[in-house]
Structure 1
Amino acid sequence: MGVNLSEEIRQPFTSYTDAVKWINSLIPFGIRPGLERIQRMMEHFGNPHRRLKFVHVAGTNGKGSSCAFLSSTLQECGYDVGMFTSPYITKFTNRFQFNGEDIPEETLLDLANRIAPVAKELAASEWGSPTMFEVSTALAILYFAEVCYPDVVVWETGLGGRMDVTNLVTPIVSLITNVGMDHTDILGDTLEDIAREKAGIIKPGIPVVSCVSQPSIIAVLKETAKEKGSTLYLLGEQFRYERGESSARTQSLRFEGPFRAMDIELSMLGEHQCTNAAGAMMVLEVLRQYMAFVLEEEQLLAGFRKAFWAGRLEQVSEQPRIVLDGAHNPEGAEALARSLTEAFSYRKLNLMMGMLANKHHREYLEHILPIVDTLILTEPDFRKKMDADSLYQLVEQLRRNTAKADLEVIVERDWKRALALLQSRTEREDLGVVTGTLYMIADVRATLLHQTDSEKGW
């Protein structure tokens, strides 16, 4: 792929801010499933992804937390670990991590200057401009393959699996956390359709671990694994866990797999995190048993204890007590409702909620409304936000059959004012929760933790 540099690109980006601004300027090109553009970009750079070992992670919920478990445990066991995830909570650099540290801004600037002319030439071709996510994926591969050289890269899909840009790579093991109703506008209208998209990360002969529970989805994964000649390790069949004690700070589980059993303690709360941890542990067991990874029990356990993922049942304020959780689809809402009543004690639950317009909000509310005393509906500062009045109309439709009789509903479109309302109404014995799209969680978290360098986005 010969590159014809224009005047515009010959003047390279001179700052990190310029580079990120350019990458974000590609957002209007949207989400365009397919691997053609990323393949051509990687061919230009000599296919550096072929030199890396990947653990590929897909699923509807739990991808980020599973990546955190994998990254933390592998680091504790002495491995250099790259991690590519999305969206980010604080800064664009969060997406590209090496041993738990963000990519340096000057490194991102250098790599953006290398990618920009290639992206420009691609834009002028029949393939069209690469998307923001494609450029970010290319940047991640160059960072890991040519700058920091991790032993293993924990590699999260952006959306789906089969046609997702990250599916460019051939991993050493894959993980499919779960499958639920999300991104139906792109992935399909049924769970089986979505499952087939997620199952697209299964590669010939490469082992795959999954925590899916629905029989129809298990059938899809088994069928795909059989077609590809891949060994499938399924929660409830090849491995299982029993939940132990839980508190507002920690919880434990007993993992039992084909090779060994282990008692694991987690700092991340909620039963769904036990499921995520069990899936991550099975991935680690595959690496240990078949790929000669040295993973000693003491270091593994320390890795699980230390694993953390921002905005997932995260308490960010003591007085008033405020918890953030990026539950944004029905499965996430179900897990959140169960986890709140289990991990925290409180008199009243005050919940602030802001959503994007493309989600299954009716099913979400059916899980959340029964436990809420005061509901504050607001809008994220994001282009695809859901109108708070439309959300209110949906709550009113569901109120009689789903909500508490004395539920108070407040509409405050400005999320900053909504947050101030939540804080003022959450008394000492109460619990305040902010939930919904991660774009709003990012803003709220930055405000409550006084983070002045916060950015946000996909």
Structure 2
Amino acid sequence: MHTYNEAIQWIHDRLQFGIKPGLERMEFMLAQLDNPERRIKAVHLAGTNGKGSTLSYMRYMLQEAGYEVGTFTSPYIEQFNERISVNGTPISDDEITKLVQIVKPVAEKLCETDLGEATEFEIITVMAIYYFGCMNPTDIVLFETGLGGRLDSTNVIHPLVTIITNIGQDHQHILGETVQEIAYEKGGIIKNGVPIITAIEQLEALEVITPIAKEKKAPLYVLGKEFMSEYKGQSEGGEAFSFSCAFGSLPHAELTMKGKHQVKNASLALMAMHYLKTYFSILVDKEQMEVALHKTFWLGRFEKVQDNPTVIIDGAHNPEGVKCLVDTLQTHYCDKRITIMFSAVSDKKIGEMVPMLEELADKMVFTSFDFYRALPAETLAEYASKEHVVYGDFKVAIDETLAEIGENEICVITGSLYFISEVRKYMKK
């Protein structure tokens, strides 16, 4: 394994082993590497939506205060390497290659046991943990779960703080059909004595999370109870709000990222920062918080990628994400004619997402992209009840759609994050 391309190919070849929830393979591989997870100061984030945005707010605040911040996120938008980043900069091709050279023999040793082959996500998670534990230690690492929480590969870390953004209907074939079942899986990342910060709103979900926190003696901080935020309305280019908790307050904060849901994500990040400041002397002052919140940006989340005509891309890949997108468009672009282009993968609730988008859209465009789980455009269009256009190739869809858009119109391209990744690459060209 000598080149970056060989390393990436070896990682991607492991997609054939699918999704296998469980921690035994992770624990085996990390033990072979002398348990690098024990050397990391971490924050662990789970939730149906908002993980990436909450993580980004925290990263920007920590960076503004001069800390070196590692992040582990998924999926990637521009390049594979960004899944493991330091201060927002993806690690190098040489580092990816070196990590594969270290992890590959461990994975081969694993497959000789009864535990079987490691999945792609398990391999990437081990690479990230080894990188931050041994190759390039940082002041703190922000780990985003891949799927669920209890049996997610990242659940081998013991964090300083745990965050669960929200509970929604996604990956139900793995996590369970009910809110309670999904909450139980997310709540599986709660550790003994480690504070849990959440914006969960459903009473039935909180009734699952609360006893888990109590059993593990984990202090529980719920948005709207132990910490508060108040939406103040639109600011220039974003949202304005105030924040308060027992450890401090921010009377006026402004976000560049649009959407009322971003106020919740930012509030989670602020609560986590105040806790880290109070109990772990991670020092970030009010001014640094305010500056960082205004600077925060996250690829593919209500991101304007073109003017004249305006094109916005957003990875709204489940019903909760679509609702947030629709609300944000109604708030900021109610005076515009809106064309929505949509593509999704096979395990999503298309029957719930399409009607919400149709309610807002003046024109619907369905398309597809080159990904093994991507649904054909014709299949997506079967859920439509209004007049629509179908394109098999998303590049043709973009070219022809934008050629027809008028002055008072915007185009919103949304759906799978894998789709958004491909769209963003194409739009940059």
Query: What is the TM-score when the length of structure 1 is the normalising length?
Result: 0.92
The match for 1:9 is none
Is residue 195 from structure 1 mapped to residue 214 from structure 2 by the alignment? Answer: no
Kindly state the Cα deviation for residue 365 of structure 1 after the two structures are TM-superposed. Answer: 2.0
8 A Cα contact 2:146 2:153, kept in partner: yes
Question: Partners in 1 of 2:260 and 2:344 — Cα distance?
Answer: 24
**Other structure's SS at 1:201 match:** coil
What is the identity, as a one-letter code, of the residue corresponding to 2:372? Answer: R
- Give me the whole-angstrom Cα distance separating, in 2, the residues matched to 1:175 and 1:65: 12
d(CA) in 2 for partners of 1:416 and 1:233?
A: 45
The answer to which of 122-131 and 428-437 deviates more is 122-131
Q: Which residue of 2 aligns with 1:445?
A: 424
In the other structure, the counterpart of 1:210 is 198
Q: Check conservation: 2:235, 2:254, Cα contact below 8 A.
A: no
Q: Quick one: which amino acid aligns to residue 82 of structure 1?
A: G
Candidates 149, 161, 181, aligned match of 1:161: 149
The percentage of counterpart residues that share the same residue type is: 38
Query: Alpha-carbon deviations, 1:299-339, whole Å to 9, x = none?
Result: 12121111110000000000111000000100001000000
Q: After TM superposition, give the deviation of residue 102 of structure 1 in Å.
A: 0.7
| Aligned match for 2:118, one of 130, 144, 151 | 130
Partner of 2:327: 338
Deviation at 1:346, TM superposition (A): 4.2
Q: Is the 8 A contact 2:340 2:357 kept in 1?
A: no
Distance (Å, rounded) in 1 between the aligned partners of 2:75 and 2:336: 33
Structure 1 residue 292 displacement after superposition: 1.6
| In 2, Cα distance between equivalents of 1:132 and 1:254 | 41
Aligned partner of 2:71 in structure 1 is 83
Verify the 8 A CA contact 1:248 1:269 in the aligned structure 2.
Answer: no
Aligned amino acid, residue 278 of structure 1: S
Structure 2 residue 13 is the aligned partner of structure 1 residue 34: no
Q: Which residue of 1 aligns with 2:170?
A: 182
Answering whether residue 103 of structure 2 is matched by residue 115 of structure 1, we say yes
Aligned counterpart, 2:88: 100
Which residue of structure 2 aligns with residue 17 of structure 1?
Answer: 5
**Structure 2 residue aligned with 1:272, among 261, 268, 272?**
261
Secondary structure, counterpart of 2:313 in structure 1: strand
Question: For 1:210-249, what aligned pairs fall within 5 Å after superposition?
Answer: 210-247=198-235, 249=237
Normalising by structure 2, what TM-score? 0.98
CA deviations 1:204-234 (Å, max 9, x no partner) are 1100100011111111111111111111100
Partner of 1:149: 137
Q: 1:23 to 1:248 in 2, by over 3 A?
A: farther
Aligned residues: 428
Aligned-residue offset at 1:439: 0.9
**Match for 1:302: what amino acid?**
V
Q: CA deviation at 1:345?
A: 4.8
After TM superposition, give the deviation of residue 366 of structure 1 in Å: 2.9
Question: Would you say 1:435 and 2:414 are equivalent positions?
Answer: yes
Tell me the CA shift for residue 248 of structure 1. Answer: 6.7
- 1:423 maps to 402
- The residue that corresponds to 1:456 in the other structure is none
Shift of 1:380: 2.4
Q: 2:351 aligns with which of 323, 348, 362?
A: 362
The separation in 1 between residues aligned to 2:23 and 2:247, in whole angstroms, is: 37
**Amino acid in the other structure paired with 1:188:** G
Q: Tell me, which stretches of 5 or more residues in structure 2 are unaligned? A: none
Partners of 1:123 and 1:216 in 2: CA distance: 40
Query: Which of structure 1's runs of 4+ aligned residues deviate more than 3 A?
Result: none
CA RMSD of aligned residues (A): 1.1
